[in-house]
Amino acid sequence: MSIPEILSQYGYAGIFIGTLMEGETVLLLAGFAANQGYLMLPLVIGIAFVGGTLGDQIAFFVGRRYGNRLIHRFPRLAAHKPRIDRLIHRHQVPLIMGVRFLYGMRIAGPILIGTSHVKVWRFVVFNMIGAAIWATLITSLGYVFGETVQVVLKDIQGYEKTILLGVVGVVVLLTVARWLYGRWRG
């Protein structure tokens, strides 16, 4: 089975599963695959939106139900809980929408928000807005990366001989310099 066949058969399921958790790497690669024609960009963004929203909703409800018990298992986190609650209370909307962009907070963030007094409907609405921005932005970055790679590779093809001669020249110069340095020190 070739890579294009694997991507077309399992790519969308992989995107969904990957975006339930962290998902940035999966989305970047999916955007790149969409650029190469293996996946459809709008479908990738849609699946990422659903997976990202659902993953954070699950984490939020885990926080609602078990969050305080989880927090008390980690004394260092429990010590920071009042400060975290004040932050969530003061900056609900930006935190709900932006927590998915904070490295290492994609799962912990919604759990912590779930332990606070944020209303469920409020979390749902702003989580969906954040997921839409996230899915579109990260997938598009992967797509643009694919475009950039194609342009660079296309440009490099015209200069293959020049680049090869340059690399050989640098290797020869470094070899000669190393030999001369060895003789000078010896």
Give pLDDT tens digits along the chain (186 positions).
Answer: 666 667 677 788 889 998 888 788 888 888 988 888 889 999 999 999 999 999 999 999 999 999 888 888 877 777 777 888 888 888 889 989 988 888 778 888 898 899 888 899 999 999 999 999 999 999 999 899 888 877 776 766 666 566 666 777 787 788 888 888 877 876
Any domain includes 80: yes
Q: Distance between CA 51 and CA 13 in Å, rounded? A: 10
Amino acid at 170: V
Predicted confidence at residue 177, as pLDDT, reads 85
Any domain includes 165: no
Predicted confidence at residue 148, as pLDDT, reads 81
What are the percentages of helix, strand and coil residues in the chain, rounded to 5? 85, 0, 15
Give the number of domains in the chain. Answer: 1
Predicted confidence at residue 124, as pLDDT, reads 96
Any domain includes 12: yes
Among candidates 115, 104, 31, 113, which has minimal Cα distance to 69? 115
Predicted confidence at residue 51, as pLDDT, reads 95
Any domain includes 175: no
Predicted confidence at residue 25, as pLDDT, reads 84
Residue 61 is inside which H or E element, if any?
helix 41-73
Q: Largest alpha-carbon pair distance within the chain?
A: 77
Predicted confidence at residue 158, as pLDDT, reads 63
Any domain includes 137: yes
CB-based contacts of 138, cutoff 8 Å, min separation 6: 23, 24, 27, 28, 31, 48
Q: Distance between CA 40 and CA 140 in Å, rounded? A: 12
| Domain enclosing residue 90, as ranges | 3-157
Any domain includes 91: yes
Any domain includes 181: no
CB-based contacts of 80, cutoff 8 Å, min separation 6: none
Any domain includes 139: yes
